[in-house]
A and B are shown apart, each in its own frame.
Chain A
């Protein structure tokens, strides 16, 4: 981040010193304009998307106003639509998945980048990339046939037995629900975290490690106290990529979450997510209010992703300053 912001202005004055025509003749200006168009198209698509979602959800926005976010009845027949259980389900499943995936993913990345022999690391990386490319519906099937029965028969009873005093692990064990969806999501996003974090860790300059080792640090100390902090921004990036995928995942979630709009402290309870309800109901939605309420849900998901991404950026900025400071020492 820090390096890109310093190189761009330094190129500016140099380019500005020549006349527009000479730059045009040399192709610089053409290249600039073309690439600018490409970059601008990203913004354009985003703006169009928000515009369309905003336009398409006029009816429920006027009818329900802020109650859309506060109420939890979703009744297509009687025209009552409240988004709260879906927002809750989306956030809870994403949080559960990150709680599981972050330690596992970063741990695996550290092993692959720092400790494993190069050949092992590259072979495993191949499998991890393969996992990242598996379509989500396959993870959903895996969830239905393997994770759900395992959860119902073994994991949920065991959790109830050992941690049942917590409200998180109470209620009937159906197998499907927030926890199961979170676990399936974790399986899906771990490859992203490993793959990106490993690359970032590998790109930490050799001097950093050697300096730490020459000062008498053990191998683990140099990894944990020097390399990982140096790569912090990139590791955070991998986590936010994982978060984005977890928030928007549709197929795998709908297959294991139970598809019931409920808000419950228990992770065993069946729930629903925004992406899942849109996919489930959009094709058969009858009437404008139902269709437009689903579009408003899409808008909510967009805003949610936007806010979380913004927070993520701030976090990266805040920590990377500290990280780069340490890197300069």
Chain B
């Protein structure tokens, strides 16, 4: 036993020396939604640059913002951009700002379980906001049947399912609802967790999925990737141009392209309800949060290098994992913004 622990100690010590020698370690924390993408990127980038290791903890967007503001991690990641107060808090604490870099795109889709209905449903803005506000309580409400001619919807009560824990998915969903419904905006608002007017809370995408699958006449929302990977039925949503669009990688990128023309310099933009005939309206960027100043030049160069790679080669890994790529205009703008990291 003693010999074994002694040997272990030696092995650990040697590993520690090897690891400390020449390998630069960068830590990040934040959003859970792009985690599969990020872990793939960090892994691939490590294969190309053996002396750089990026560790990422997917603790949630709120936690990512908090940790990068505290300075406990080198960079953060979030599904909803930091608000002005948070930016000010960062500036006050550090004396310099923090930059947003969009990485990929995702979307939320309405998923439902109505016994006897196999058709792909189409939802108007009024239908979605009405259901989640608790104004529309039956599946055969005219607001739903109006856009689903030929589908016989039952006169059953609708069971709304939402995320119980704070999440970027909820942020995107409530951001969209706030744009299409004045009542939602004033009564509920947008955020990672909100005071839901109706419904059951499921924990995580899997909790929402499980509850929807288990509960007849229910409707919930999940990430597009999750719906695709789990082969869940999901509906089309009417966009601001009046077309019913089904979420897929192309329609999500289209939403980003529609918004790219008016992209602000700090990249903090919401692309829900974006213009464009083919744009899927419940889409969003997800962002890396990179401090504008690094005291460690090695770390600064490593992060700059990674962001550059992510915008070029990195984007090619996105679609295999069902994330939508960034539009070219956004990539070009971001490449310029990298120089702001000092």
Contact = CB atoms under 8 A, between A and B. Distances in A.
Contact of B200 (A75, A145, A259, A283): A259
Secondary structure at the A interface, as helix, strand, loop or mixed, is: loop
A77 B191 contact: yes
Nearest to B191: A77
A283 B165 contact: yes
B63 interface: yes
Contacts of B199: 260
**Which size class do A's interface residues fall under?**
20 to 34
A260 B200 contact: yes
B26 interface: no
Interface in B192-228: 192-196, 199-203, 207, 210-211, 214-215
A210 interface: no
A284 B165 contact: yes
Contact of A259 (B188, B190, B201): B201
B211 to A, nearest CB: 7
A49 B147 CA distance: 56
Contacts of A73: 195
Contacts of B113: none
A255 interface: yes
A76 to B, nearest CB: 5
B137 to A, nearest CB: 11
Nearest to A257: B201
B97 interface: no
B164 A259 contact: yes
B203 A74 contact: no
A255 B210 CA distance: 10
B214 A175 contact: yes
Given A254-B164, A280-B164, A284-B165, A259 B203 contact: yes
Given A74-B195, A279-B165, A174 B63 contact: no
A174 B62 contact: no
A191 interface: no
A86 B47 CA distance: 48
Give 8 nearest A-B pairs by CB, closest first: A284-B166, A259-B201, A259-B164, A77-B189, A75-B195, A284-B62, A280-B165, A283-B60
Given A270-B201, A284-B192, 10 more contacts: A76-B166, A76-B191, A77-B190, A172-B157, A176-B211, A254-B164, A283-B59, A286-B65, A286-B166, A287-B85
Interface of B: 59-63, 65, 85-86, 157, 159, 164-167, 188-196, 199-203, 207, 210-211, 214-215
23 contacts: A73-B195, A74-B195, A75-B194, A76-B191, A76-B192, A76-B195, A78-B195, A255-B207, A259-B201, A260-B199, A272-B201, A280-B165, A280-B166, A280-B201, A281-B193, A283-B165, A284-B63, A285-B166, A286-B62, A286-B65, A286-B166, A286-B192, A287-B85
Interface of A: 73-78, 80, 144-145, 148-149, 152, 172, 174-176, 254-255, 258-260, 270, 272, 276, 279-281, 283-287
